[in-house]
């Protein structure tokens, strides 16, 4: 079986079957680039992902492995309304997979899934974070994401006015 | 298969999971792609709350709202005071937004307002086509609403500056327009329709030789309708007569007809005229100015007037196009008056005409065996299709898009 070494930002190397790796758009491109530049077709590609640390990369690969037989979702599917297919595709396994993670890890996973172009994972993780926004007040959102208002002058008041005007009309 | 080959060589970087325990000050900024991905999936009501979180979220949420509203625009079916989506009369595949200017839905203003400060990288108009109905000066929201700063309230000239290059179809109706400004910002315009329009008479409109080469080079279809100010219509005609392929004139104003008659349309293929009969028009219009005219649709309400004395003028007018016409639609019953006898007598033959549409003469069921039919067979030797319509279907009852342009 053709394999590929995927190396995390902190130097951990994962040996992954190419078939599995190719389910990530980014890895697929990298493998193809490697093939083109390499004379030896048997050589094992090595891909460094400088933005993703081992713990997160392991989670992504774990998710990929679980979903290796799913149909590949085109990146722009459902672009019409911007929503993914998470609602349809989320399995019990996914829920168990995400359940123990705290918000920070989930957000790191989102970045990783985005970077590696794994649409299915991106959808379910974003959906999870989004549920922390839905129905919350501004203060609750700020608390959940540890964010502070950095509006200057009357910007916030102005935005509030605009919102009211938009919603009420 | 996934196999961990080696342990991480370095210490693990500080995980973001500290987010929950660390001091909040460290995290006032999240990677933009993260915020974008999350908000892309957020509900619309959540997005309004997100606009208030901080500046970064405000900008991302506003952008997302704007994007959705533009998509919403596509399926906008509010048949209301605001406007509605209609099929473009010019190209059936294009939707066209009719926008009645008196009151504005926030869903429409929102995207426009937010984007005053930003450039769109892609076409914000799912339609490419905009019809603006205005009966007042273009101020379309009140002071306390969008945009952020009241003094930056958007006006149509600004609108054209920003979005003009996306538009391919544009209609003005009841609109006080600086047409010159609108056209200079719409380089991709293909279809222009001007109804009751007024403009300030400026020097720009007097001389258009320079503009002729630079403005609206892709404009091929022009529709001029009633009560358009004459000098405005004249200016547009002078501007683009050399490149027009389709021309539709609907007017009761003879002056406007004469403006049209004086132009030389080298590329004109399809001409439709709805108007009163105008003797002067028929006399000064030269077939030679329209070497490529293939489709003539002419409704001059000929039947409504007792103008037997002008019958020959009218027939001569039609006869000018004998060498090029492929389709002829005329509001004339062939068995009335002289029928085609006059043209036949002059030896004119419309050799290319394939389809012919004529008015059914009241009380005459069939034209089989009539003299008119015999004349027509000589006059139009290659015709494959003869259609008749009833008077009640003619003129204004005939929806403009029910008649194919091609």
**Interface contact B177, partner A, CB < 8 A:** no
Determine contact: B148 vs chain A, CB below 8 A: yes
Highest-scoring range by mean pLDDT, B17-21, B135-139, B204-208, B274-278: B274-278
Q: How high is the pLDDT of residue B28? A: 58
pLDDT at B96: 40
Domains of chain A plus CATH, in order, are: 3-131 (3.30.710.10)
pLDDT > 90 in chain B, percent: 0
pLDDT at B38 over 50: yes
- Averaged pLDDT score across all residues of chain B: 65
pLDDT band, very low/low/confident/very high, at A55 (cuts 50, 70, 90)? very high
Q: Is A130 on the interface with B (CB under 8 A)?
A: yes
d(CA A40, CA B352): 68
CA distance B119 to chain A (A): 20
Identify which of A102, A114, A136 has the shortest CB distance to residue B33.
A114
Distance between CA atoms of B250 and B290, rounded to whole angstroms? Answer: 19
Q: Looking at residue B320, what DSSP letter applies?
A: T
A54 touches chain B (CB under 8 A): yes
Is residue B22 within 8 angstroms of chain A, CB to CB?
yes
What dihedral do alpha carbons A114, A119, A124, A125 form, nearest 10°? -10
Q: Which residue has the higher pLDDT, B353 or A79?
A: B353
Looking at the predicted structure, is the pLDDT value of residue A38 above 50? Answer: yes
- Among B30-34, B65-69, B221-225, B398-402, the minimum mean pLDDT is found in B398-402
* Complex ipTM: 0.82
Give the distance, in angstroms, between the CA of residue A55 and the centroid of all CA atoms in the same chain: 14
Identity of the residue in A15, A80, A149 whose CB atom sits nearest the CB atom of B54: A149
Q: Mean pLDDT over residues A86-113, rounded?
A: 83
Say what the pLDDT of residue B123 is.
38
Give the pLDDT score at A160: 82
Terminal C-alpha separation, chain A: 61
Q: Find the residue in B nearest to A54 (Cα).
A: B8
Cα–Cα distance for residue pair A9/A48, rounded to 1 Å: 7
Mean pLDDT value of segment B110-125: 34
Out of B31-40, B135-144, B161-170, B194-203, least confident range: B135-144
Tens of pLDDT, residues B279-297: 788 888 876 677 888 888 8
- pLDDT band (50, 70, 90) for residue B260: confident
Q: How many CA atoms lie within 13 A of B285 on its CB side?
A: 26
Identify the band that residue B343 occupies on the pLDDT scale cut at 50, 70 and 90.
confident
For chain B, the domains span 32-67, 75-240
DSSP string, A65-124: HHTTTSPPPPTTTTTTTS--SHHHH--HHHHHHHTT--HHHHHHHHHHHHHHT-HHHHHH
Instruction: Name chain B contacts of A80, Cβ cutoff 8 Å.
Output: 71
Give the A window 87-126 contacts with B, CB below 8 Å: 102-105, 107-108, 110-111, 114, 122-123, 126
pTM: 0.48
What pLDDT score does A60 carry?
93
Residue A113's pLDDT band (cuts 50, 70, 90): very high
Query: What are the DSSP calls for B117-167, one per residue?
Result: GS--SS---SSSEEEEE-SS-S--S-TTSSSSSGGG---HHHHHHHHGGG-
Q: Residue A73: which pLDDT band, with cuts at 50, 70 and 90?
A: low
Which two structure tokens, joined as six digits, stand for A113? 């899934």
Which residue is it, tokens 């900008």? B59
Beta strands in B37-80 (DSSP E): none
Of all residues in chain A, the percent with pLDDT exceeding 70 is 84
Q: Is A10 on the interface with B (CB under 8 A)?
A: yes
Given a contact cutoff of 8 angstroms between Cβ atoms, the answer to whether A4 and B3 are in contact is no
Structural contact between residues B273 and B282, judged by C-beta atoms closer than 8 angstroms: no
Q: What does the pLDDT read at residue B363? A: 62
Q: What is the mean pLDDT of residues B36-55?
A: 87
Average pLDDT over residues B218-246: 82
Task: Evaluate if residue A64 carries a pLDDT over 50.
Answer: yes
Residues A101-108 have a mean pLDDT of: 89
**B369 part of contact set with chain A, CB < 8 Å:** no
pLDDT given for residue B374 in this prediction: 82
Categorize the per-residue pLDDT at B200 as very low, low, confident or very high, splitting at 50, 70 and 90.
Answer: low
Among B31, B14, B11, B34, which residue's Cα sits nearest to residue B22? Answer: B14
DSSP-assigned letter for residue B79 = B
Q: What value does the mean pLDDT take over residues B376-400? A: 67
């Amino acid at each position: 079986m053709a394999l590929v070494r995927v190396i995390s930002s902190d130097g951990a190397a994962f040996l992954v079957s190419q078939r599995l790796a190719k389910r990530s758009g980014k890895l697929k491109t990298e493998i193809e680039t490697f093939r083109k530049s390499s004379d030896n077709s048997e050589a094992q590609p090595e891909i460094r992902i400088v933005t993703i640390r081992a713990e997160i990369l392991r989670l992504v690969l774990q998710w990929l492995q679980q979903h290796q037989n799913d149909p590949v979702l085109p990146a722009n599917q459902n672009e019409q309304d911007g929503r993914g297919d998470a609602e349809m595709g989320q399995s019990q396994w996914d829920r168990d997979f995400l359940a123990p993670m705290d918000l920070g890890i989930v957000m790191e996973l989102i970045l990783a899934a985005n970077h590696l172009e794994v649409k299915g994972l991106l959808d379910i993780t974003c959906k999870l974070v989004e549920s922390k926004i839905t129905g919350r007040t501004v203060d609750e959102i700020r608390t959940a994401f540890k964010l502070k208002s950095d509006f200057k002058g009357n910007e916030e008041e102005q935005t509030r006015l605009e919102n009211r005007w938009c919603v009420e009309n | 298969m996934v196999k961990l080959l080696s342990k991480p060589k370095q210490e693990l970087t500080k995980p973001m999971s500290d987010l929950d325990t660390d001091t909040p000050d460290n995290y006032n900024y999240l990677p933009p792609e993260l915020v974008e991905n999350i908000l892309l999936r957020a509900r619309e009501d959540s997005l309004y709350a997100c606009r208030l979180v901080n500046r970064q979220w405000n900008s991302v949420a506003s952008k997302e709202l704007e994007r959705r509203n533009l998509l919403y625009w596509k399926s906008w079916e509010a048949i209301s005071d605001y406007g509605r989506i209609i099929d473009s009369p010019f190209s059936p595949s294009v939707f066209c937004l009719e926008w009645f200017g008196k009151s504005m839905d926030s869903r429409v203003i929102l995207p426009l307002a937010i984007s005053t400060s930003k450039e769109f990288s892609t076409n914000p108009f799912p339609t490419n086509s905009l019809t603006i109905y205005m009966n007042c000066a273009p101020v379309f929201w009140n002071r306390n609403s969008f945009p952020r700063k009241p003094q930056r309230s958007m006006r149509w000239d600004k609108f054209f500056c920003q979005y003009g290059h996306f538009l391919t179809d544009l209609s003005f109706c009841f609109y006080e327009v600086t047409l010159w400004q609108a056209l200079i910002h719409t380089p991709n315009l293909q279809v222009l329709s001007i109804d009751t329009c007024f403009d300030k008479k400026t020097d720009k409109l007097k001389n258009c030789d320079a503009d002729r080469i630079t403005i609206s080079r892709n404009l091929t279809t022009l529709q001029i309708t009633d009560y358009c100010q004459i000098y405005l219509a004249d200016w547009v005609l002078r501007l683009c007569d050399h490149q027009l392929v389709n021309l539709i004139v609907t007017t009761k104003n003879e002056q406007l007809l004469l403006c049209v008659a004086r132009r030389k349309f080298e590329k004109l293929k399809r001409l439709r005229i709805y108007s009163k009969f105008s003797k002067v028009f028929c006399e000064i219009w030269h077939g030679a100015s329209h070497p490529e005219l293939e489709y003539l649709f002419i409704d001059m309400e000929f039947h409504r007037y007792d103008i037997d004395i002008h019958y020959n003028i009218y027939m001569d007018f039609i006869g000018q196009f004998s060498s090029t016409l492929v389709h002829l639609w005329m509001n004339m019953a062939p068995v009335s008056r002289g029928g085609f006898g006059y043209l036949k007598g002059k030896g004119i033959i419309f050799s290319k005409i394939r389809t012919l549409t004529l008015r059914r003469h009241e009380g005459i069921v069939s034209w089989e065996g009539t003299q008119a039919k015999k004349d027509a067979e000589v006059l139009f030797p290659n015709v494959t299709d003869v259609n008749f319509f009833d008077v009640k279907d003619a003129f204004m009852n005939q929806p403009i898009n029910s008649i194919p342009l091609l």
